[in-house]
Structure 1
């Protein structure tokens, strides 16, 4: 798509009351590397990713999703996107300018249709990263984020119109209708998915592992440590990726995955998958059944950050 200005997903930023517990979990258990930790803010990198960080944790009185961040190709793309959004009546939180987060760069923030803060940036200095080795069960990169909303059709329309995301696939159900929309900003099957839920919140954040063996080793490490598993291990139909979902200490659902599908965007046609067929949710048949309890855990708490910009 020639006028797509967003190139990729950068990071997801979380605010939590118990900062020390959350930081310990994401570093010692989940496998992220602390880059900068100072006065209640931590920037955590994935060893295999050139992004300065893939998760930011901030100490706060209330749990919330601070923001979701995307990359753009260059400064001109950032300016053009900000101009388009402003012209279309989207609320800009900040105008394009220099950024003071690790790696610097040039970017701006705005509210999406549900009131989430979204950041877009370019010219962020690449982090010195490394190849994740065989049997090393740590994340290579942030794969995707899934967002809950009561009005997914409107959210999908916003991301299609304003950010030029493309629909890859949709999950539907005979009794519930369309419940999840997978959207892409490059040839990965999805960088964002929009889920139908009872309120606006983070559904889950997903982290790519090196391969099947590393994915299983990581899943097993968390199971042995007693981390609460939500769903998995299994392999989805949409995206063809593996999945094991866990809860972090503050009840955010996070996923280990691998082998997310890459598409030929010129020839791809979206599928409508009926997930009343159990092979749609899990091709392998190894995961615990998808039911109301599993779904409820990923609804998450009501997001206290809706239409409230994070303080940093």
Structure 2
């Protein structure tokens, strides 16, 4: 257990990011993008709902698509070590007056497991689960340009200091690095729950929304091949290819059919917990956003698309 600012005990047993669930008006169009272009595999589905896996990941699915009248982030899901940790976290969140969406129970999604849902400080639905049956997966081979796994998710928040503190206090996230502007203050906080530089980040924005979801490729060659496939498909390339300084990962950002930003990435930095000290990076320096200097400039259009539409699903639990 780790004592966080404010004196609250936070679990250190969150293990990894499981999946990101999206609601969209045009389910079939979105499904075609994520399978035919992006490289995910539909494993389970019915009319208006699909579970999409990454071939290299033991997770049953890394994206869930649900048909809905308007787009929203349905939920963000994380793994936790054991069933007793699920119960302990639910009990502690309830004691801290965090609004629970559901009590711990057996899950009905692919792979089952045991988990519960709750609202974070901005009203997003979060799921934590354990004992999910691993999916049969395989090694992604050289030159195979499909995602290995879901890498990380970045979320827009009007007050990233408050949101970051909430995730540190209640879920045990650690601050890895900060992106800072001399004019506008902190722009992004990168948070980790394992040695990966970040599984989650919060970006300063005018409203709560999805900033981007990122998918890991096998290596640089596979990342470039995947980026090229998406470009040739006619998908809107937003930014990249390039290499960030925070996380040291390669990036190319695209828009999916509903205007959500999705990223191909690879070679994310791994953190040594015993020696790591958070950096504060100056976002006004060109080599901070792109070390290679190969990406198109970060401009107002890229910023606008990254802000995304306001999420009207805050403090409204998804029906599934």
Shorter-chain TM band: over 0.9
| 1:251 counterpart = 2:259 | yes
2:243 aligned residue: 235
Match of 2:196 among 170, 188, 199: 188
Distance 2:234 2:41 in 1: 22
1:166 aligned residue: 174
Determine helix, strand or coil for the equivalent of 1:302: coil
2:210 aligned residue: 202
Determine helix, strand or coil for the equivalent of 1:297: helix
CA-CA distance at 1:183 after TM superposition: 0.1
1:176 aligned residue: 184
CA-CA distance at 1:266 after TM superposition: 1.5
Per-residue CA shift, 1:147-166, capped at 9, x if unaligned? 00111110000000000000
CA contact (8 A) 1:144 1:191 kept: yes
Determine helix, strand or coil for the equivalent of 2:126: strand
Distance 2:314 2:30 in 1: 22
| 1:7 counterpart = 2:15 | yes
CA-CA distance at 1:291 after TM superposition: 1.6
2:72 aligned residue: 64
Distance 1:166 1:34 in 2: 33
2:153 aligned residue: 145
Per-residue CA shift, 1:131-187, capped at 9, x if unaligned? 011101000000000000111110000000000000000000111110000000111
Distance 1:19 1:290 in 2: 30
Determine helix, strand or coil for the equivalent of 1:128: coil
CA-CA distance at 1:293 after TM superposition: 1.5
Match of 2:299 among 291, 298, 309: 291
Match of 2:34 among 23, 26, 29: 26
Distance 2:314 2:303 in 1: 22
2:88 aligned residue: 80
Which moved further from structure 2: 63-72 or 1-10? 1-10
Determine helix, strand or coil for the equivalent of 1:77: helix
1:260 aligned residue: 268
1:102 aligned residue: 110
Distance 1:296 1:271 in 2: 26
CA-CA distance at 1:12 after TM superposition: 0.1
Unaligned runs of 5+ in 2: 3-10
CA-CA distance at 1:268 after TM superposition: 0.5
Q: Which aligned pairs between 1:33-48 and structure 2 lie closer than 5 A?
A: 33-48=41-56
Distance 2:238 2:118 in 1: 32
Provide the aligned C-alpha RMSD in A: 0.7
CA-CA distance at 1:5 after TM superposition: 2.1
Distance 2:304 2:178 in 1: 20
Unaligned runs of 5+ in 1: none
CA contact (8 A) 1:5 1:78 kept: no
* Pairs aligned (count): 312
CA-CA distance at 1:226 after TM superposition: 1.2
